[in-house]
Every structure is written in C-alpha cells, then in structure tokens.
Amino acid sequence: MGQDCLMRITALAGGVGGARFLRGLRDALDADPVLAQSEITIIANTGDDITLFGLRVSPDVDTLLYTLGGGISERQGWGRDEDTRQVMGELAAYGVGPQWFGLGDKDLGTHIARSLWLGEGATPSEITTRLAQRWGLPERGLRLLPMSDQPVETHVIVTRPEGPEAIHFQQWWVGEGAATPAERFAAVGLDRAVAAPGVLDAIREADIVLLPPSNPIVSIGIILGVSGVRDALRGTPAPVVGVSPIISGKPVRGHADTCLEVVGVEASARGVAGLYADFLDGWLVDPQDAGQPAPAGVRWTPRAYDAPLLMGDRAGAARLARAALDLALEVGSATPAGVGGA
Amino acid sequence: MGQDCLMRITALAGGVGGARFLRGLRDALDADPVLAQSEITIIANTGDDITLFGLRVSPDVDTLLYTLGGGISERQGWGRDEDTRQVMGELAAYGVGPQWFGLGDKDLGTHIARSLWLGEGATPSEITTRLAQRWGLPERGLRLLPMSDQPVETHVIVTRPEGPEAIHFQQWWVGEGAATPAERFAAVGLDRAVAAPGVLDAIREADIVLLPPSNPIVSIGIILGVSGVRDALRGTPAPVVGVSPIISGKPVRGHADTCLEVVGVEASARGVAGLYADFLDGWLVDPQDAGQPAPAGVRWTPRAYDAPLLMGDRAGAARLARAALDLALEVGSATPAGVGGA
C-alpha cells in the first residue's frame, strides 16, 4: 500500500451505535500514517425524523453531528454536552407536549436552525452540509449525507387494549421504551423517497462499504428501502462488511431484538446477516456467535472478533472499527486503485 | 362608592412602561378594599411583532405577560427572570442571525409555543389567552388582548448613505438603538387590521380608560390605527386619562422623543397630549411640565403629578397608577353604574 493512500469509505448509519463506531473509524484512520487522508462518507438514516413543537428534529443526523463534532453528551449518547432544559420546562408550563422527548436548549438550537432553513426552502442535504460545517466535519474527512431529501417517518403499529394504533417510531422507542407490543413498522414516505444527492455514487464509487452495528430494521433497514440504495450495494465493486448489532441474541444497545421480533427475523447475528445477505461480503461477530453458520447462499463465513463485540470507550470503538476495516481490506475482491494487498 | 365595586378599567399598552404601570395599577386596586375586585382589560400593541429564527415573537404581549405574571427580568424590564442564552449561542455558532435581539431560553419557550399554535391555526387572541392562563392573569382580574389578530409590523424607513431603506422597527429600536436617522414609520398591515375580539367592547363598555406612559407613536399610536379603536375612544362614555411618557422634553424610557421627532410632533407632554386630543379627558404630567397649556380645543387642563412622573420601583408605579385612576374618577363626566363620586 502506497503512502498517503486516500481510501473512500462509505458507511450507512443510524444514531448512537453508528456514530460511536464511525468516530472510532475516524480515530483508527487518523492513527494510521498511511490511511489518515482517507475519507468517510456517512449515509444517515432520516426515518427517525420527527416534528416536535413545530420544529424538525433529525435524531440520527444530530447524533452523528454531535458525536463526530465533539459536542455529544457522552453520558446519554445523544443530545448535547452540558445542556440545560429551560425551553422544555417552559413548554411544559404552557401545557405543550410531548414531554417524553427530552430536548436540551443547545440541541434546540440545531432544530431551530434546521426548521428555519427548511422554511426558507433548503433541502435536508443542504442543511446537513451547513450543520456539518459548524461541527468541523469536512476538514476531518467526514462527509455526512441524509439518506434522502424526501421526508420519511417510521411509524409503529402498536397493539393497544382498544385496538391497533399507528404512532411515530420515536414515541414507541423513546416515549414507551419499545415496551408496547408492536405489530409492524410502516415507513411513511419511504416508497416515494429517492436517494439524496451523492448517496448512490458514494456506494458505487467507494473503496470500502461498512455497516456499523446500527439497528438493522429501523436504521439500516430504512436506508436500504430508499430507492436505489440496495441495488447500489449489490452492484458496488467495493467489499461490503458489517458489524453485528446482536451479541448472543441480545442487542448491544437499544431494542434491536424487539425490532427483529416484530418483523419475524431471528434476533441473532446470523438473523441480521440474513437481512444483508444479497450484498454482504464480510460479517464481524462476537466470539460467542462464532459458531453460527453464514446465511444461506453466501460464500463467506462470519469472522469472530478477538474480543467481545463491544465498543466500550472511544479507544475500544476505534479498535472495533479497525477490525471491520481490516476485514474489508481482506475480503475485498475488487481491490481499489492505489490500495494494494496487505 | 359601594363595597366590592367591580370597576372595568381598560388600558392601551406597549411594552415595558405599560407593563410596569399596569402592574402598579393592579397593585393599587388590590390594596383598595373597595376596588380590589375591579378588572383590567389590556389592549396590547402587536405592531412590534417580529419573526426571528422562524419563530413569532410578540415583544409587548410577552413583556406584559411576564411583568404581570411575575416572570419578568426586573433588571432588563423585558425577557424572563434568570434566563440563559444557550439557544442563541448555538444559533450564532450556526451562523444564524440576527444576534441583536437577545432571546433567552425561557423566553424562547414562549415563542416556540406561540409559533406552534399559530401553525395549528390558533389566532393571536386565542394564543394570548392560553399564555395568560399559564401566567395566572385571569384569576387576578387581568385580561390581555392583542390589538388585532391580523399581523401588523411597524417598519422604519431609515436614511443610509446609499439611500433610504425600510427595516423592521425592532431592528431600528433594538439593533440600532434608534440612532439611525429615520424618515418615517410604516405600519405594514395596519390598514387591513381589524380590532381583535373584545377590543372595541372593552373600550365602549369600560368605566375608565387609561393610557399608560407608553410610546405615543410606535405603541399607543399603532393601536389607535387599528380600525375602530380611535372611534371607540371618542365615543366611550368612560373618562379617558393618560400619563405623559415625556418629562420636560425627555422620554421616561426608550426613544419616544426620537419617534416624535420622526413624525414632526414636539417632544413634550403637550405634544403627546395633542395626539390624543380628540378623545382625552385628563392628562397627568410631571410637575416640570405643569405650566404647559392643554392642546388646542380641549376643555381640561393637564394635571401635575405631586412628584416626578417616574415609576421607579413597584410601589412607585402603584402610586402613579393610583393617581391616574383618581384623576379618571374625578374627571369622569359619565359616572358608571355602581361608582359614585368620591
């Protein structure tokens, strides 16, 4: 491999898990004298987007911005560092809900800016570019793209005593802790959503495509539903490597197992790999899951990580991301120009 | 005067001066065992309203709400007590302006609620009622009405080196400290503004009408321009008594003298009284201005207050409001039912 190798890495990502993995990836690249100039293009799920208090909130995009830009609340994993809740307190006093989605004051600054720009006619892509500039992403070789400029909102059809009800994914996930029995998900608007500018090219022209341990149904799964994305993944010459979000049947974070259950997929590393089988070239799993066979029809076997498949702290995330990167370099059948074998 | 006399007092008001005067009036009434049950209807100027960061701000209504409801920043005279500036800091970091209108986080809670409700189709009247409930105004005998449900925005045509420019009143007043030479004011939308529900009846059916020492041009003057308001004041049987916002040629607060200059009216207690001459029945002035004659054509002489015409602290405002009230009771030619002479 030559010096100053500019590798183009593209990743699909949801919120907290994706953001921590990608911060780790950036750290891993920065620590590598050969790969430090590499660029990461992130295709963010926007199916979690929600309008709260008349303001447009894009939770996964914001978590990615704050985590990669150094403004995240490390304790929560989402929202801003050292934030306050003055605005929410006032809204509660005025009887304005919902109160289950805790928006800090600094965080609201982002939502107010986004809503203002949307009102002025800017697209989510343009807005994400503006927000990313403030967070210093471009100069660190990080390009953040929303999956689509069309609004997509994942709803959950839950089972209430009085019958089924469709609620916003965030209400189910945050407001009800994903504890209310769900019948199915409905990604409202997804059938009309086209990929945002740059998204398909980022997959087609990547040297490596990575799937962080994001939720396979409501994060990665929604991105895969955007017109053209799945075909681009199937057709890209780049190796596509994923990291399992499930360890021994349990999600690393969040309620991915519940989501898999809702759609009738086994909550296992193998179950998730099966959802990606048509385009996946490599799959990093926890040592506990090393014995599971690959999904039917694939030519690879899952690769066991050499430690529990957890990110832990920032250094641990960098180590995991490096392992996924190395697996991709290893399985890459179509070696990109300038990137020789190890 | 009988016990438990319910007097209906209606006042036109701008922001800080009007709010402090009316808090004083409420205090004065509360301290009077006979008049404590009296009700005050406040007709608020909404010509200062402005959309900032995509949120609708109604500065005079908010100053009245916060002052009367116990949430005002006493130091500033406007905005919320113990507020923070987290949101504005973020907006600045995103390059979103303007920054000259300092909105605190708590204050923004009000603007977010208002904007949300406007988006849901509520009128400014309905929204003001909701906001006033949170601030406990109804149970204290305070009814707050916006002058109109139609948007009115006072603009200022300023003189720039490169020629005249129309800017929002708030930009001139707050952003430029009213220091930029102004040619004239233009109340955009005022010619189409009809009085909000209850406004004209509150004037017609009042026992007393008071004009606090608010700005005669950009606060009271705008309210007077709403269709029907001036006629209602001319026709009401209630005595109409005002408090001069000018002492010896200088405004008590703000830039009323500059505003008067722009419209070519003498910056004096007499000059202001002349603007109200067609409906005014009494005029309270500073002892320094006692020698000034009444405007041409009126049958009354200005009444000198027995101290400097300043509100000072809350007790001072109550004392001044009581003096205006007493003057109104004295000059009231059409004595309302239930209110006998002193």
Looking at the structure, tell me whether residues B33 and B73 fall in a common domain: no
Number of cross-chain residue pairs from A and B with Cβ atoms under 8 Å apart: 95
Within-domain flag for A283: yes
Asked if residue A10 is part of any domain, the answer here is: yes
State pLDDT tens for residues A130-163.
999 999 999 999 999 999 999 999 999 999 999 9
- B182 and B220 assigned to the same domain: no
One domain, residues B127 and B262: no
Do residue B115 and residue A54 have CB atoms under 8 angstroms apart? yes
Residue A335 has pLDDT above 80, yes or no: no
User: Could you list the residue range(s) of the whole structural domain that residue A182 is in?
Assistant: 153-188
Total domains in the fold of chain B: 3
Residues A202 and A322 reside in one and the same domain: yes
A311 and A219 within one domain = yes
Please give, rounded to a whole number of angstroms, the shortest distance from the CA of B19 to a CA of chain A. Answer: 21
Write down which residue in B133, B168, B188 finishes a domain: B188
Across the strands, what pairs with A128?
none
Q: Do A94 and B109 touch (CB under 8 A)?
A: yes
Q: What is the identity of the amino acid at A81?
A: D
B205 and B337 fall within a common domain: yes
Q: Specify whether A216 is located in the same domain as A320.
A: yes
pLDDT tens digits, A177-226: 999 999 999 999 999 999 999 999 999 999 999 999 999 999 999 999 99
Q: What is the predicted pLDDT for the residue at B5?
A: 77
Token readout for A33 is: 């004298």
* End-of-domain residue from the set A131, A162, A188: A188
pLDDT of residue B69: 98
Q: Can you state the percent helix, strand and coil of chain B, rounding each to 5? A: 35, 20, 45
What is the structure's pLDDT at B4? 61
In a domain, A24, yes or no: yes
Are B247 and B276 found together in one domain? yes
Cβ of A55 within 8 Å of Cβ of B90? The answer is: no
Cβ-proximal residues to B101 (8 Å cutoff; 6+ apart), any chain: B50, B52, B57, B170, B174, B175
Confirm whether A237 is domain-assigned: yes
Match 């066991």 to its residue by tokens: A304
What's the CATH number where B104 sits?
Answer: 1.10.8.240
Q: Specify whether B257 is located in the same domain as B325.
A: yes
**Do residues A195 and A224 make contact, with C-beta atoms less than 8 angstroms apart?**
no
A113 closest CB neighbour out of B91, B108, B134? B91
Rounded Cα gap, residues A280 and A297, in angstroms: 11
* Pair (B28, B158) in one structural domain: no
B14, B218 Cβ separation under 8 angstroms: yes
Shortest distance between the Cα of A189 and any Cα of chain B, in A, equals: 22
Residue of higher predicted confidence among A3 and B204: B204
Q: Tens digit of pLDDT for each residue in B94-114? A: 999 899 988 999 999 999 999
Verify that B231 and B338 share a domain, yes or no.
Answer: yes
Which among B84, B93, B112 has the least Cβ separation from residue A53?
B112
Token pair 């939770």: residue: A59
Answer yes or no: is A124 within a domain. yes
DSSP state string for B226-260: SBTHHHHHHH-SS-EEEE-SEETTEESSTTHHHHH
Question: What are the backbone angles phi and psi of residue A323, rounded to the nearest 5°?
Answer: -65, -40
For residues B235 and B338, membership in a common domain is answered with yes
